[in-house]
Amino acid sequence: MDLPGAAHLVLAESVVPLDPEPAIFNAMLEGWARQQRVRFLKDETIARRLWLVQRFQAFSGLYPWQWTAEEIEAFFAGLRSGERPIAVSTARGYQMDLRLFLEYVCDRRYGWISLCEDRVGAVPQQLIDLDNSVGHASVFEGRPGRRPLTYDEVQALFDAADARVEDIRARGRKGGLAAQRDAAVLKTVYAFGLRRREAWGLDLGDFRRNPKLPQFGGHGGVFVRWGKSSRGGPPRRRTVLLVPEMDWILPVLEQWLTELRPLFNPGNHPALWVTERRGRINDRKLDAIFAAARDSAGLDPALDLHCLRHSYVTHLIEFDYPERFVQDQVGHAYASTTAIYSGVGDDYRNRMLLRALTSQNTDMWETPK
């Protein structure tokens, strides 16, 4: 069949390479890449999967038609050892990628089975199933250190970012303007509960006026165009409304847009966050910005930029916003995902307990009708 990724479309049947095994393997990788592209998977997803297959082949020294379950188990045993063992979720993702590759080459519609029989006398087999793969036993499998920041920790983080500006100026060094940008980025990420790529992709025209809250001016909401996608689909979009508890971000944005950003001379560039080279800031740079402020504030090194999003979810819940509202604000498809992000403090839980007790006592003394 002339399916994208079929063996005869990648490896000419009339050409016999001098070294057939690596030629067939490389053709399998190219065919798998084509098969994934027609499903609109991201280039980085395809590249990551190909890299993993190549890594396993280099580890085993064998080709797919020679692979065994023992080699796969030895591969993952090696990844679990050493100074930086992989996480459970990473292992599951790797196993899923290898399983998908084996599903592709074992699917007779693509012709790799018959080609391998003719040229190397052996065929690949599916080697990964429920019995030898990592199960999904827990809802949350992130690093234990990843958690929401407390209000004091958020304030300490922002204070450290602002202090860096003053320190650079006091030393007469370059970079003061970039440091002011970095502080504004961190505050915006928290104030709107953004993911890293969502903050990276913001343009000037993405801010919205909220007619219900005219006092917020043109920053009553932000239109997120680079939300997390799934199953090869486009980035999901949503509008995040600015809540009154976060209105302290308004003067920060106003100063950035009217005073600081023009000093970068961005011209007609639409990006909200720009660099000295008049381009959009690199999304990986946002991780470094957070890490620098975190270390200056003396916070836990396990915290990362995404923890600000966890903090946003937690604090909205503590502000007594309905769960559905919080879910829509952060763009989660399921309420269970939002629940994983939350980590309300003891003060909030005690308030809920006292509220419930007060309501119960009131009901007890109501006059019967």
List CB contacts of 342: < 8 A, sequence separation 6 or more: 148, 310, 313, 314, 317
Strand runs labelled E in the chain: 207-208, 221-224, 238-241
What residues does each domain of the chain span?
Answer: 7-132, 151-347
- Average confidence (pLDDT) over 158-184: 92
How open is the CA angle 293-343-85, to the nearest 5 degrees? 65
| Catalytic residue list contains 195 | yes
Catalytic site residue from 309, 310, 312, 315: 309
Please check the confidence at residue 353 and state whether its pLDDT lies above 90.
no
| Catalytic residue list contains 306 | yes
pLDDT in tens, 66-94: 999 999 999 999 998 878 888 888 899 99
| Catalytic residue list contains 143 | no
Q: What is the pTM (predicted TM-score) of this model?
A: 0.75
May I ask the CATH architecture of the domain 151-347?
Answer: Orthogonal Bundle (1.10)
Please check the confidence at residue 16 and state whether its pLDDT lies above 80.
no
- Cα separation, 296 vs 77, in Å, equals 37
How open is the CA angle 305-224-240, to the nearest 5 degrees? 85
Read off the DSSP letter of residue 148: P
Cβ distance 44 to 148 under 8 Å?
A: no
Catalytic site residue from 42, 169, 209, 228: 228
- For residue 369, the model assigns a pLDDT of 47
Catalytic site residue from 94, 104, 190, 341: 341
Q: State both tokens at 281.
A: 């800031």
- Cα separation, 332 vs 305, in Å, equals 18
| Catalytic residue list contains 228 | yes
| Catalytic residue list contains 92 | no
| Catalytic residue list contains 332 | yes
Catalytic site residue from 306, 321, 348, 351: 306
CATH class of 7-132: mainly alpha
Catalytic site residue from 147, 164, 195, 315: 195
pLDDT grade, residue 23 (50/70/90)? very high
pLDDT in tens, 259-291: 999 999 999 999 999 999 989 999 899 999 999
Please indicate whether residue 194 or residue 170 has the higher confidence score (pLDDT): 194
27 CA to centre of own chain: 31
Q: Which long-range contacts (CB under 8 A, 24 or more apart) does 254-262 make?
A: 254/219, 255/184, 256/180, 256/181, 256/184, 257/204, 260/177, 260/180, 260/181, 260/184, 261/181
Q: State both tokens at 290.
A: 């957070």
Closest C-alpha among 299, 310, 328 to residue 153: 299
pLDDT in tens, 289-303: 999 999 999 999 999
Please check the confidence at residue 177 and state whether its pLDDT lies above 60.
yes
Catalytic site residue from 147, 164, 196, 332: 332
